Amino acid sequence: MEETLSSRAIYSGRVVNLRVDNVRLPGGRRTTREIVEHSDCVAMVAVDADDNVLLVKQFRKPVEKELLEIPAGCIEPGEDPEATVRRELGEEIGFLPRKIDRLGGFYSTPGYCTEYLYLYLATDLVPDRRYAEDTESIEVVSVPLSQVAELIESGAICDAKSIAGLLIFLSL
């Protein structure tokens, strides 16, 4: 285990904060750790009545390309993760799930980030469009469940949360 000797905030933003921790390693050597603080989030595998997975296609500036992903979003302060699932699905894909099942969870990038993703299966979907300013450029893509593994294998789905979430769902 690493002992934190000191911690210094470097940046505070709307989505992330950055800090540098000075730590002592188990062998006694000292070093630094750059840590991105990010709120916990939810990620959802949304499956409609026809066994299609509803994905979102959106441009991601850090990688400069459009990605095909499972819907996801940040948990607001004081918000229950299941309430976040309902809010985010309404905003991103225009559906409200009548049934929500927890599939597990995972840290997105524990080498440098605090974000934990709660993973859910959302089914029995009914139309419920909610407005959110950051979702206007999202395209909803309906993919037959039988094609999901191929999309992962081909690299068409290439972000960690989507791959993890979809593979967990497919293994059920």
Residue 105's Cα: distance from chain center in Å? 10
pTM of the predicted structure, to 2 decimals? 0.93
Q: Which helix (H) or strand (E) holds 163?
A: helix 160-170
Asked if 143 and 53 touch (Cβ cutoff 8 Å), the reply is yes
Spans of all domains in the chain: 3-37, 39-170
pLDDT tens, N- to C-terminus, the chain (172 residues) = 999 999 999 999 999 999 999 999 999 999 999 999 999 999 999 999 999 999 999 999 999 999 999 999 999 999 999 999 999 999 999 999 999 999 999 999 999 999 999 999 999 999 987 766 666 789 999 999 999 999 999 999 999 999 999 999 999 9
Q: Which helix (H) or strand (E) holds 46?
A: strand 41-47
- Does the domain at 39-170 match CATH 3.20.20.70? Answer given as no
The long-range contacts involving 16-23, CB below 8 angstroms and separated by at least 24 positions, are none
Q: What one-character-per-residue DSSP string does 65-77 give?
A: EEEEE--EEEPPT
